[in-house]
Structure 1
Amino acid sequence: MRNADRFDLADLDISTIDLPASGERSLRDSVVPALALRVRSSGSRSWVVLRTKDGKTVRETLGDAVSVPLASARLMASGPVVAKSPIKEITEPDERLFKPAATVADMLPRFLTFGANGRWKPSTGRQMESVGRTCILPLLGDRKLQDITPQDVACWHRDVTAQTSSARMALSTLSGLMLFAEDHGVRPAGSNPCRGLRKKAKGHRGRHLPPGSVKRLWAALDRLHGRMPDYCDAVRLLLLTGARRSEVLGLQWDLIAGPRAVLEDSKSGPRTIWLNAPAREILDARRAASASLYVFPSPRIDGPLTAMDAPWRAILKEAGLSGMRLHDLRHHFASVAVSNGIDIRLVGQLLGHRDIDSTLGYAHLATGALTKSASRVSSIIDRSMNAGATPKPRHQCQKPTSRSRRALAAAVASSGEARHA
């Protein structure tokens, strides 16, 4: 196809692409090379797949690019078989596509289309499309949805876990697909074969970092500040605020007002990061020396820093620590808050959790605060129960004076000497 330029189609706004003066133009996807966006002078925009067969390029149309999300088009284009008729947006179950013998490859694009219509955040949709294309379709794409068993999923998950760090997202995506299949009658209700497999790692939730480790980490940040000031300040803010890495690295100055930073979007939607005095001191020092829109600007592109894996390893090495994840700083913040008696709901607001269930993983750390609260409640109940009782004689309730304690000690000593004699 002529005029087939290559782009990451996720970076383009399909509705605003300039139309050719006449004829058509195709934009090839750099992520899935077989996929292209075809725009015509008439205004139509559609997904097409380009295949080479017998030395010739064969083009097949997938559907309207405005109706079918890019994630779904990429999945359909990456498969070995492409539908021979245009695929339209699905709003109601399609009997031809959602037949009992439907395969994972048949239903996954429709599942992603369903979620892309406001159900998921765009970043979540892109992650699900990626793990679907790389982790689900190659191993399970030709399997019938109704035939997949918990044992099949367990074997698949074991293989995926050994190959990629995205196994949790892959499992969540497959689980959602199975529920989608139940909703459309392809699987019996309540038969999700992913049930029972752990989707979230629980081992790091609610863990205190040892005080010595925190001190060593902070000292290492002071020593390395001259070499990597941006990354050291970012780690300090993570430890002081409990914010997520992406939230700190993506901070913009105009979103910070006094003791808070108001984020228009985060993993859990709009939320506020509350800034204590040490965090504000760090930001004030950076603002005085900054000419960028971002608190942590990237030295290579017009945008913020996006990754800090290598600097974090260097910081841990300087501190003499190992096995500590950057996300553990967030868990430590929450652990300190809960174990010092801060209400679990307030901790959830500080962390930006969408619901209380996300915060309850730290509830077991509130032992000290709960013990004090239980003692206080029991004391109140005890006083109320004994309010009408006959008061004890004052001499029995009086606290022993220093003189009486000395006299008692002397009497005990004399009694002991007498028994010994």
Structure 2
Amino acid sequence: MAGEKITKRTVDGLQPMERDFVRWDGLLTGFGVRVRASGSRSFVAAYRLGGRNTPWRRVTIAAVGSMTVDSARKEAERIIAGARLGQDRAAQKARKRAEMTVAQVCDLYLAEGCETKKASTLATDRGRIERHIKPLLGKRLIGEVARAEIEKFMRDVANGKTAADVKTRLHGRAIVEGGKGTASRTVGLLGGIFSFAVSRHLRPDNPVRGVKRYPDKKGETFLSPAELARLGEALGAAEASGANYAAVAVIRLLAFTGARKGEVASLRWSEIDLERGYLRLGDSKTGAKVIPLGAPAIEVLAGLPRIDGAQFVFPAATGGAAFQGVDKVWRKVRAAANFPALRLHDLRHSFASVGLARGDALAVIGAILGHADVKTTSRYAHLADDPVRNAANEISKSVHAAFSGKPSAKIVPFAAKRGA
């Protein structure tokens, strides 16, 4: 624990490394700044409760930015001085955290355990926490939740106990659904939250571990050509009856590109390259991304009005943000097409299935969809032509033709063995 005195300039100059590290102060032994590999920084204090043979204990004072260096140094002095009198701040914090409720740990997880998650993923996590986890488990103490309670939680969510139609904003609404898929994905998030709790020493184990979840069939809806035609007819009827032009255009672009909803709904004019036929997104679920455009998608984009001063292709009526009304129109369109449970994301899967039916390779489909990992695209492998099945089909047809005495069947005799 040696070095120069920690100042604001010192803290501002600390850069993350491959592993977490602590920059210790050169004047006050036990005072330092911890820098995590993720880039987050916090003031810490280290102390011993006895002589040199006792282990060091470390406690977090505050996140950098929420307290000045001088204030953090003074707090470290108090902690270290208290340790000389037998006061164990780390143990005090651990006892206090052991009394935290699941709701409080969820809030702590969102604040400190999601540093590498994208905003869209955080929004999904926050929704599952507020709509499912907090209502059913929020008041339980984090250290008292057992595996049986997690299993009951999963059953309750699957059976629709947390289903609701919630008003959001002036004219908005959030339809919270249950079901086995929602239950499985929420339990997956709960497992991450309890892993975070274990890493913070809030409890010794993860009660989600070993819980058998329902098979998650999310993303297995693929529309056939006939079903796509039915959906297209319903979308055209909605447009003819005066449905919002932006919502109709977004839905068409999702179907014609295989893009994600957020990538199209928040599209900016600066990201469109119609001359070369690409969307060049500055950010997406997998980072910066290029989406190739087919002729139907280019036609949709070329026909859109450009509103003066708007950076978004589909701007909101007020406030300068992106349009948020796609879901309302989509619910009406899917109901008219008799697809009550169809999701906008299913258009992405259907785009992939059409490509595979044409004979396009999985790697090509993955490149169009922007998959960072080939394993993600492999979920569509069962839709591709199976050469073994095709061979079996052709052999079966040949045998059938031979049975029927049809001349179209080619029967190739075995070559006679020499010397026979």
**Deviation of 1:120 (Å):** 1.4
Q: Which amino acid aligns with 2:229?
A: K
CA contact (8 A) 1:148 1:193 kept: no
Report the counterpart of residue 153 of structure 1 in structure 2.
Answer: 150
Q: Which amino acid aligns with 1:114?
A: E
Structure-2 separation of matches of 1:322 and 1:212: 17
Structure-1 separation of matches of 2:387 and 2:295: 25
**Deviation of 1:192 (Å):** 3.5
Counterparts of 1:202-351 in structure 2 under 5 Å? 202=217, 204-205=219-220, 207-226=221-240, 227-228=242-243, 229-257=245-273, 258-286=276-304, 291=308, 292-319=310-337, 321-351=339-369
Q: Which amino acid aligns with 2:236?
A: D
Secondary structure class of the residue paired with 1:273:
strand
Structure-1 separation of matches of 2:132 and 2:339: 33
Note closer, same or farther for the CA distance 1:320–1:194 as it changes in structure 2 (3 Å cut).
same
CA contact (8 A) 2:113 2:196 kept: no
CA contact (8 A) 2:363 2:374 kept: yes
Structure-2 separation of matches of 1:320 and 1:121: 34
Q: Which amino acid aligns with 1:331?
A: H
Secondary structure class of the residue paired with 1:139:
helix
Q: Pick one of 372, 375, 383 that aligns with 1:365.
A: 383
CA contact (8 A) 1:252 1:295 kept: yes
Secondary structure class of the residue paired with 1:286:
coil
Report the counterpart of residue 14 of structure 1 in structure 2.
Answer: none
**Deviation of 1:246 (Å):** 1.7
Percentage of identical aligned residues: 30
TM-score normalized by the length of structure 2: 0.58
**Deviation of 1:129 (Å):** 4.1
The structure number with the bigger radius of gyration is 1
Note closer, same or farther for the CA distance 1:121–1:98 as it changes in structure 2 (3 Å cut).
farther
**Deviation of 1:282 (Å):** 1.5
CA contact (8 A) 1:157 1:171 kept: yes
Q: Which shifted more, 209-218 or 271-280?
A: 209-218
Is 2:178 the counterpart of 1:178? no
How many matched pairs?
290
Note closer, same or farther for the CA distance 1:96–1:373 as it changes in structure 2 (3 Å cut).
farther
Structure-2 separation of matches of 1:67 and 1:180: 22
Report the counterpart of residue 74 of structure 2 in structure 1.
Answer: none
Q: Which amino acid aligns with 1:352?
A: G
Secondary structure class of the residue paired with 2:304:
helix
Structure-1 separation of matches of 2:326 and 2:103: 36
**Deviation of 1:236 (Å):** 1.5
Structure-2 separation of matches of 1:114 and 1:318: 44
CA contact (8 A) 1:341 1:369 kept: no
Counterparts of 1:42-61 in structure 2 under 5 Å? none
Q: Which amino acid aligns with 1:342?
A: D
Q: Which amino acid aligns with 1:355?
A: D
Q: After superposition, what is the alpha-carbon deviation per residue over 1:352-411, rounded to whole angstroms, capped at 9, x for unaligned?
A: 333233322222112446756999xxxxxxxxxxxxxxxxxxxxxxxxxxxxx8xxxxxx
